[in-house]
Amino acid sequence: MQPNLGGMASAPYDVVVAGIGGMGSSAAANCAARGVRVLGVEQFPRGHQFGSSSGKTRIIRRAYFEDAAYVPLLDRSYQMWRELEAESGEHVICLDGMLTAGFRGSEVVAGAEAAAKLNDLDVEYWEAKDIRTRYPALRVNDDDYGVFEPDGGFIIPEASVSAYTAVAEKHGAELRYETSLVRWSSDSDILRVELSDGTIVRTSRLILTLGPWFTKTMESLGVAMRVQRNVVAWFKPERPLGPRELPTFLIDRAGLPTRFYGFPDVGDGVKGALHGYGVMTQADELDRQIDMMRDIDPIAHAFEGWAPGSSHTFLDAKACMYSLTPDEHFILDRHPTNSRVVICGGFSGHGFKFVPVIGEIAADLALKGGTDHDISFLSIRRFKEKAHAGH
């Protein structure tokens, strides 16, 4: 089926994608694979580490405590990750198991259990003794309880972006790096997109995947999106802590400042981070310098409480950015005042696992005007509805 572009064949591009990180590269690839003319623009060089699509590992899991409505989107993402590997030849997904654990009544554990049961997921429910038996290297509290997903694990973000940009170009997309979106406007039935190199391109549709640089756009639409600095750190453990000894994990325990997540050593050391622990900032003002006492010590302390000896030698750290919506759920929608513009943002530190399906949804919204995926709970209109409900 050919995309419905409203008869606007006079524009040089059918779709412009602004921002070619994880979401944008997937959107560009999904659009180009449907046979339309795609231009992708990215403010940084190819393979850069400045946005939110880097860090060597990103969790993928199905028992989604945040909201069970995400699970069908995850099912599609799992399928599409495998399709990406087959088409690109890149290895992007590693499924050695994922453990969500903590005290039984915690939001994380109870939510994961509820999502698993509602969607009849293939998971295992572990008491403290079960966790100790499977992973004896862990320091397990007597009140710990876990949801173990055998098909959970992690995505390699850099490889994912590389694969999707290669697929986009294979299908004819034009990608311009070190070129950013300055502004866009509607000119009759055509969108005029002004770029940082001084050029103005005309397009039938525009997909905005701007990551942490989305705040001004969101503010103009009445959504107060925030950007949070979050540090991830890598350590060399004093003994082997590969996937057999340490699963990809998310734990919620008393005594920790916030939820703690991390990954086994698959060649770069173990990696850990405290979810949502950083200060608020702006994308262009991010402090990328790492302070050992402020940034690393809390992560090392959390790691030692979970896997003794894990933080034996500090290796590296990186300051990342969370793009937080008021309710910390995504925004996937058409622009409220111009339906030719698609907005994909506010992924709030838990979006990367959805990269394939978000690209598919963005292509659906741009080229068909709608999608078969249920994304009603991710509409930008929910914020106005909540504001009106409060009066």
Residue where a domain stops, chosen among 309, 324, 339? 324
Task: Tell me which residue of 18, 31, 135, 119 sits closest to 78, measured CA to CA.
Answer: 119
Same domain, 26 and 142: no
Based on the fold, state whether residues 134 and 235 are members of the same structural domain: yes
pLDDT at 281: 97
Q: Which of 290, 306, 324 is the last residue of a domain?
A: 324
Same domain, yes or no, for 235 and 308? yes
| Total count of domains within the chain | 2
- Are 44 and 171 in a shared domain? yes
Does some domain include residue 70? no
> Do 148 and 168 fall into the same domain?
no
Same domain? 128 vs 239:
yes
Residues 291 and 344 in one domain: no
**Residue 318, pLDDT score:** 97
* Residue that has been written with the tokens 């006079």 in this structure: 10
- Final residue of a structural domain among 302, 324, 346: 324
Domain annotation covers residue 4 = no
Domain interval for residue 209: 13-53+158-223+329-389
Low-confidence residues of the chain: pLDDT under 70 = 1-10, 386-391
Residue 286 lies in a domain: yes
Is 83 inside a domain boundary? Answer: no
Task: Please tell me whether residues 345 and 295 are part of one structural domain.
Answer: no
Please check whether residue 90 lies inside any domain of the structure.
Answer: no
Q: What pTM does this model have?
A: 0.95
Answer whether residue 187 is part of any domain: yes
Residues 255 and 294 occupy one common structural domain: yes
Claim to verify: residue 320 and residue 333 sit in the same structural domain:
no
pLDDT score for 9: 43
